[in-house]
Amino acid sequence: MSEAHVMVRTQMVVNDAVFALAQGQDVDDLKARIENAVDLGGRFESFVVVGNREMSMLFSGRTAVTFSVETVSYDERDTGDADLPFGGFFDE
């Protein structure tokens, strides 16, 4: 019996919106950028979500952010490369 291929996925909840971060995201760097944006009174920060789509979100002192980590089935398409999106209108 072969072992299941899995990977770790980080989810970020911003207020009530849930974002599954793409592989390759530097979560510590993202946290630092969010903290800096809040310290500056608010600023847009970008990150890549599953589907390799880049998001840009305004973070301010009124933004609630939570991170969680889970183990999920391996998806070879989830590379974090925003130049190679997948899912929805981008599927061939």
Residue 13 to residue 11: CA distance in whole angstroms: 7
pLDDT in tens, 11-46: 999 999 999 999 999 999 999 999 999 999 999 999
pLDDT value at residue 74: 93
- Strands 17-20 and 43-49 come out as unpaired
Output the pTM of the full model: 0.84
Q: Which whole-number Å values give the CA distances from 88 to 43, 53, 92, in the listed order? A: 29, 11, 9
CA dist., res. 52 & res. 88, Å (int): 12
pLDDT of the residue at 3? 76
Is the per-residue pLDDT at 2 higher than 80?
A: no
Q: Kindly write down the DSSP assignment for every residue of 34-62, as one continuous string.
A: HHHHHHTT-EEEEEEETTTEEEEEEE-TT
pLDDT (tens digit per residue) in 38-61:
999 999 999 999 999 999 999 999
SS3 label, residue 89 = helix
Lowest mean pLDDT, pick from 10-14, 63-67, 82-86, 87-91: 87-91
